[in-house]
Chain A
Amino acid sequence: MVWQRKDLLGLEELSREEIELILSTAESFKEVSTRDIKKVPALRGKTVVNLFYEPSTRTRVSFEVAAKRLSADVINIATETSSVKKGETLIDTGKNIQALKADIIVMRHNYSGAAAMLAKHLEISVVNAGDGWHEHPTQALLDIFTLKEKMGKIAGINVSIVGDIAHSRVARSNIWGLTKLGAKVTVCAPEILIPPAIEEMGVVVTSDIQEALREADAVNVLRMQFERDSSNAFPQQIEYFKNFGLTCERLEKAKKNIIVMHPGPINRGIEMSSEIADGSKSVILEQVTNGIAVRMAVLFLVAQAKDRKDENIN
């Protein structure tokens, strides 16, 4: 199959084949980062703009490294230094970047749907690096890539996602991606952090961490963001760890080879104990490494699709 989309906005709209294409492309890019000269010329002459409306270090750096290993030029724009503060609309900002003849905008935005809106108004590619509570497709893709590496397959495996499901774009993208590839997904959170009707997305819901761990081949632990939504926040961090935190005792009752994942940054002692984070079941740092390969694949595929489209027009 050939990748057709100029943008990557979320995993909801992707087919299983499209997801698999990104994963297999990432596989071939993974090797680049092991070379002495960690660079291929795939995006030479292309300009990638990281447009970040929310503070982010790891996602931005990961995209920047990915773009540079593809030989693209990278420009970082953070809200503090842009004219966004002067009241420029997102569409105007996007059109200005397009007028600079950039090729890809990688955007992180605090409002759900912002990436989709920008993509609709621009001819250049938009890659969603997280929009509000909606989607964070490259994070889910790197989670799935890591799982596939460890398990050999996605179809039929049990994945539990634990944490603030209601406000998590990582959870939503993982649910779409994993269920499309045939995994069985369980979400686990205090009841107030489970969004309504989420079963309709094809997941099992529980508020019992032990229940969520029992059959799990992997557990993806989300970062608790107590600061984000004061009206819905789980009252006490300690209370959360007591009821939902990943500990050695809890993992003892799980499958022996269970894989522990976390999108980072970890709140040690809140989502999981340090023993788990640094332990043998943890693949957290491998996720970071794989993030480069997955983002290289995404940048490469959208750029190619855009080039093909332009050729067809000309």
Chain B
Amino acid sequence: MKILIKNGLVIDPANHVKENFDILIEAGKISKVAKNISAAADKVIDASAKVIIPGLVDMHAHLRQPGREDKETIASATAAALKGGITSLLAMPNTSPAIDSVQAIELLKTLVKKNSLANVLICGAITNGRLGKELSDIVGLAKGGAIAISDDGASVDDEKIFQQALKIAKTEKILTICHCEDKSLSNQGVVNLGIISTKLGLRGISSESEYKRIERDIRLAEKIGAVIHIAHVSCKESVEVIRQAKKRGVRVTCETAPHYFSFTQDSLVDYDTNKKMNPPLRSRQDQEAVKKGLKDGTIDVIASDHAPHTENEKDIEFDRAEFGVVGLETELSAGISELVENKILSLPQLVEKLALNPARILGIAKGAIAPGDDADIAIIDPAKEWLVQKENLVSKSKNSAFLGRRLKGVVEYTIYNGKIAYQA
């Protein structure tokens, strides 16, 4: 199939491109990026007044399959991803069973092959059952195709075990993604510790529980010379700890999620469980620090931390409700609405955080638009607004923090592997 995209503004930070071009796609690859391409094509897309960006790479998503197909499936998650302009996503291993063995990863690969509508990459577990007690078969997972390891949802408390994991990951040349939380400090908390936990009468999760563990993980990675990536950075101290580590040359990268720059703890006043996530929404100062970290490059990546949950798990008492929100479909729009509109990032910088940087960190050949590259592309209208409603989410779960919010930026087409995989 040949697709010719005419007259769009191509934003491709990898090649420092921000210019109107035509793009020709053939056999799953980008064959030409040039002015006024005239070629016979099966499909011609008029992209005038639209923006063409590389398909986004979301390096933090919970697909829930196998085990919790009532929340989400590989099919529904990848459909949601495509609607959000995402063509590659990293599946976190906290499924049932956890992706902690060769059998588990083989099962997941079979399911992905059968059901996936986009490029699903696999993150293996660091420890068996993500319990932090004994190392999983990291070598087997890496050989089986895992490109990263993480116990996401939990930190490996035991330093000795975590150091061993870092060493194996270093040898296997895969990334270690750190969920940084000292559970002895975040002890049963459900919202940020401070005035909001006091007002609402809920247990608080301190910033300390996050940044203290980031400090530890950075210290160990530095000692071992391993490469680590810090997941879901939410508070100002964390941003500063990572900023300083980067300055002294530690090989650390990090991500934040759209909810941390779009909301603060103040939006919890009515106990909205769709604002309950871990780490929690923090204070105004933390939100500002996250934005500053995005602007100055301390925060490399924006990832959704897409965490689908059923209504039964959310429409209950706040303490009992599950942590997490869906985010695949709102990630790009939230970035445009909060960061580009408010001049925190330019659109090319946003694309870097959503596509190029995660691709580089994961070591995959994605996130760019040049001849020879995989034809993973999103065509977007950054000025168009849409209202986030349960009815227009394609994810199986509707637990979005953005419900009822107007966001800017609509994905018109998502092209994956040279084919139109989504059309608005």
**Closest Cβ–Cβ distance, residue B50 to chain A (whole Å):** 40
Per-residue A-contact encoding for B72-105, CB less than 8 Å = 1, 0 else: 0000000000000000000000000000000000
| 96-125 of chain A: CB within 8 A of chain B | 109, 111-114, 116-117, 120-121
Q: B196's closest neighbor in chain A, by CB? A: A197
Which of A89, A112, A200, A231 meets B318, CB within 8 Å?
A112
Query: Contact mask B184-204 → A, CB, 8 Å, 1/0?
Result: 000100000111011111101
**Is the Cβ of A89 less than 8 Å from the Cβ of B204?**
no
Q: Which residue of A lies closest to B315 (CB)?
A: A91
Given contacts A116-B270, A195-B197, A196-B194, contact A89 B202 (CB under 8 A): no
Knowing A196-B193, A196-B204, the reply to whether A111 touches B199 (Cβ < 8 A) is no
Given contacts A117-B271, A231-B187, are A111 and B198 in contact (CB under 8 A)?
Answer: no
Counting CB contacts under 8 A, is B320 at the interface?
A: yes
Report chain A residues within 8 Å CB of B319: 111-113, 132
A112 close to B200 (CB less than 8 A)? yes
- Bound state CA distance, A54 and B271, in angstroms? 20
Whether A241 is near chain B, meaning CB under 8 Å from some CB there, is no
A116 and B195 contacting across the interface, CB-CB below 8 Å: no
B70 touches A (CB below 8 Å): no
Q: Which residue of A lies closest to B318 (CB)?
A: A113
Query: When the two chains form their complex, are residues A196 and B195 in contact, meaning their CB atoms are under 8 A apart?
Result: yes
Interface string of B310-326 (1 = CB under 8 A from A): 00100111111000000
* Other-chain contact of A134, B187, B200, B315 (Cβ < 8 Å): B200
Q: How far is the CB of A50 from chain B (nearest CB, A)?
A: 19
For window 204-256 of chain A, which residues contact chain B by CB distance below 8 Å?
231
Question: From DSSP, what is the main secondary structure of chain B's interface residues?
Answer: loop
Q: How far is the CB of A53 from chain B (nearest CB, A)?
A: 10
CB pair A196–B197 under 8 Å, yes or no, is yes
- Minimum CB distance partner of B190 in chain A: A112
Q: How far is the CB of A117 from chain B (nearest CB, A)?
A: 6
Q: Report B144 CB to chain A, min CB distance, Å.
A: 40
User: Which chain B residues border A198 with CB–CB below 8 Å?
Assistant: 195, 198
A195-B197, A197-B194 are contacts. A133–B202 as well, Cβ < 8 Å? yes
**Assembly CA distance A287 to B201 (angstroms):** 24
Q: Which residue from B187, B194, B201, B316 sits with its C-beta under 8 Å from A169?
A: B201
Query: A residues within 8 A CB of B197?
Result: 195-196
Output the least CB separation between A187 and chain B (Å).
Answer: 11
- Least Cβ–Cβ distance between A8 and chain B, in angstroms: 15
Report the minimal beta-carbon distance from B258 to chain A, rounded to whole angstroms.
Answer: 24
Number of chain B residues whose Cβ lies closer than 8 Å to a Cβ of chain A: 20
Given A113-B271, A117-B271, A196-B194, A132–B315 Cβ distance below 8 Å? no
B193, B201, B204, B316: most-surrounded residue (chain A CB, <10 A):
B201
Contact among B187, B204, B315, B317 with A111 in the assembled complex (CB-CB below 8 Å): B317
The answer to whether B198 touches A90 (Cβ under 8 A) is: no
CB closest residue in chain A, given B270: A116
Most chain A CB neighbours (cut-off 10 Å) among B187, B199, B270, B318: B199
Residues of B near A64 (CB, < 8 A) are none
A135 within 8 A of B: yes
Dominant secondary structure of chain A at its interface with chain B? mixed
Kindly identify which residue among A89, A117, A120, A131 contacts B201, using a CB–CB cutoff of 8 Å.
A131
Contact A200 B195 (CB under 8 A): yes
The answer to whether the Cβ of A201 comes within 8 Å of any Cβ in the partner chain is yes
Q: Could you mark each residue 256-274 of chain B with 1 if its beta carbon is under 8 Å from any beta carbon of chain A, else 0?
A: 0000000000000011000
Taking the closest CB of chain A, its distance from the CB of B320, in whole angstroms, is 7
Nearest CB of chain A from residue B265's CB, rounded to whole Å? 11
Let me know if A12 and B199 touch, CB within 8 A. yes
Residues of A within 8 A of B270 (CB): 116, 120
CB–CB A135/B201 < 8 A:
yes
Interface contact B315-A197, CB-CB below 8 Å? no
A306 in contact (CB, < 8 A): no
Does A172 make an interface contact (CB < 8 A)?
A: yes
**Contact residues, A61-118 vs B (CB, 8 A):** 89-91, 109, 111-114, 116-117
Kindly list chain B residues whose C-beta atoms are within 8 Å of the C-beta of A111. Answer: 317-320
CB-nearest residue of chain B to A13: B269
- Residues 391-403 of B, flagged 1 when their CB comes within 8 A of A and 0 if not, give 0000000000000
> With a CB–CB cut-off of 8 A, which chain A residues contact B312?
89
CB–CB B317/A172 < 8 A: no
Chain B residue numbers with a CB within 8 Å of A121 are: 315
The interface residues of chain B lying within 8 Å CB-to-CB of A231 are 187
What CA separation (Å) do A196 and B189 show in the bound complex?
13
Inter-chain CA distance A116–B315, complex, in Å, is: 12
Q: Is the CB of A90 within 8 A of B316?
A: yes
**From B188, which residue of chain A is reached at the shortest CB distance?**
A231
* Cα distance, A201 to B194, chains bound together (Å): 11
- A116 interface neighbour in B193, B204, B271, Cβ under 8 Å: B271
Within B187-225, the residues touching A (CB, 8 Å) are: 187, 193-195, 197-202, 204
**CB-nearest residue of chain B relative to A133?**
B201
With the chains together, A91 CA to B197 CA distance in Å? 24
**In the A-B complex, the 4 residue pairs with the closest CB atoms:** A133-B201, A113-B271, A134-B201, A112-B201
Residues of B within 8 A of A (CB): 187, 193-195, 197-202, 204, 270-271, 312, 315-320
Extra contacts, 6 of them, besides A113-B271, A197-B194 (Cβ < 8 A), are A89-B312, A90-B316, A113-B201, A132-B201, A169-B201, A195-B197
Q: Write 29 A-B pairs (CB below 8 A) sorted by A numbering.
A: A89-B312, A89-B316, A90-B316, A90-B317, A91-B315, A109-B317, A112-B200, A112-B271, A112-B318, A113-B200, A113-B201, A113-B202, A113-B271, A113-B317, A113-B318, A113-B319, A114-B317, A116-B271, A117-B318, A132-B201, A132-B202, A135-B201, A172-B201, A195-B197, A196-B204, A197-B194, A200-B198, A201-B195, A201-B199
Which residues of A are interface residues toward B (Cβ below 8 A)? 12, 89-91, 109, 111-114, 116-117, 120-121, 131-135, 169, 172, 195-198, 200-201, 231
